[in-house]
Amino acid sequence: MSAGAGPGGAAARWIHRLSPRQDDGAARLVCFPHAGGSANAFRAWAPLVSPEVELFAVQLPGRAERFGEAPVDRMGPLVDHLLDHVAPLLVRPFAMFGYSMGARVALALAQAMSAAGLDEPAVLAVGASPGPRLRTAVPGWDRSEEELVAGLVAAGGMPAEVLADADLLELLLPTIRADLTVVATWPYQDDRKIGCPIAAFAGRADSYASPARMAAWAAETTSRFTLTELDGDHFFINRALPRVVAVVDGLLLRAGAGQAALG
């Protein structure tokens, strides 16, 4: 796959383009969804990103058109798939944005790309996920369905529209459990810092990924760290989306301009 190509073949199952294709030098923003979420969660970003930014979102097995596929429940195999199918699209300048479970996946992929001698993102943006080094317990991932749901509700990690639909909840729970298992069993190593800036976002009323817990992401980088606090709970992004997109988009474009000046 050429650097300027969009996803095709097997890669098209793993990553969706959500905005028009630009020239080969365009900046790229790749988004990673929360547990149980799909690439569709990021469609609302498309009209908000700059015209110079190509927007992509990762589509994991077990949801949307990949519902018939078994979800991946371990970080190692998941990152291996992403290295094969997503990393070839990540040409500089590019940024990653991960929300909740997606934040951990984006960090693990950035670490794996660095270890493989590939470019790191110009910016890693993360939201609604406690700093990995805190090793915050993942609610209910290895418990009964009732305990799993109760843990998610207590942590604020279950969208209201899913809770209100019993049939939808039953369909989604296996994928949500697999996603939470990815996070809970990840063999996190605190000596694998990345060299790119990290921009973190936290809901002031998020009991699980509070601003204090999000501040711990500073320990994952040898570069700059910023924390933006926003009104809302675990799904603060629903009300603060324009602000989040503006910050991430601006950081990516400034990084791209800096690379062009150096090049």
For residue 104, report the phi and psi dihedrals to the nearest 5 degrees.
Answer: -65, -40
- If pLDDT is split at 50, 70 and 90, which confidence band does 263 have? very low
Give me the pLDDT at residue 260, please. Answer: 47
Concatenated DSSP letters for 163-176?
HT-HHHHHHHHHHH
pLDDT at 17 over 50: yes
Mean pLDDT calculated for residue range 164-186: 92
Cα–Cα distance between 165 and 131 in angstroms, integer?
31
Predicted local distance difference test score (pLDDT) of residue 5: 46
Average the pLDDT over each of 71-80, 98-107, 142-151, 173-182 and give the range with the smallest value.
142-151
d(CA 224, CA 16) in angstroms, rounded, equals 29
Taking the domains of the chain in order of start, what are their residue ranges?
11-136+189-262
Beta strands across the sheet bearing 225-230: 15-17, 53-58, 27-32, 94-99, 123-127, 198-203, 225-230
**DSSP states of 93-118:** SEEEEEETHHHHHHHHHHHHHHHTTP
Residue 132 vs residues 34, 164, 230, 248: alpha-carbon distances, Å? 15, 31, 21, 21
Place of tokens 């500089």: 92
The CATH label, of 2.60.40.10, 3.40.50.10490, 3.10.150.10, 3.40.50.1820, for the domain at 11-136+189-262 is: 3.40.50.1820
Closest CA to 16 of 28, 2, 34: 28
Q: What percent of the chain has pLDDT over 90?
A: 76
Tokens of 164: 């209100």
pLDDT single digits (tens) 108-152: 999 999 999 999 999 999 999 999 999 999 989 999 999 998 888
| pTM for the model | 0.92
Buried b vs exposed e over 177-213: b needs ≥16 C-beta within 10 Å? bbbbbbbbebebeeeeebebbbbbbbbeebebbebeb
Q: How far apart are CA 236 and CA 204, in angstroms?
A: 9
What pLDDT, on the 0 to 100 scale, is given for residue 6?
56
Residue 83 has a pLDDT of: 96
Percent of the chain predicted with pLDDT > 70: 94
Using CA atoms, how far apart are residues 200 and 236, in angstroms rounded to an integer?
13
261 has pLDDT over 80: no
Helix (H, G, I), strand (E, B) or coil at 51: coil
Mean pLDDT, the chain, integer? 91
What's the length of the chain? 263
- Contact (CB, 8 A) for 181 and 72: no
C-alpha distances out from residue 105 to 33, 57, 75, 108, Å: 9, 13, 7, 5
| Phi/psi of residue 95, nearest 5 degrees | -130, 155
Task: Classify burial at 79, counting beta carbons within 10 Å of its beta carbon; exposed 0-12, middle 13-18, buried 19 or more.
Answer: buried
pLDDT score of 25? 67
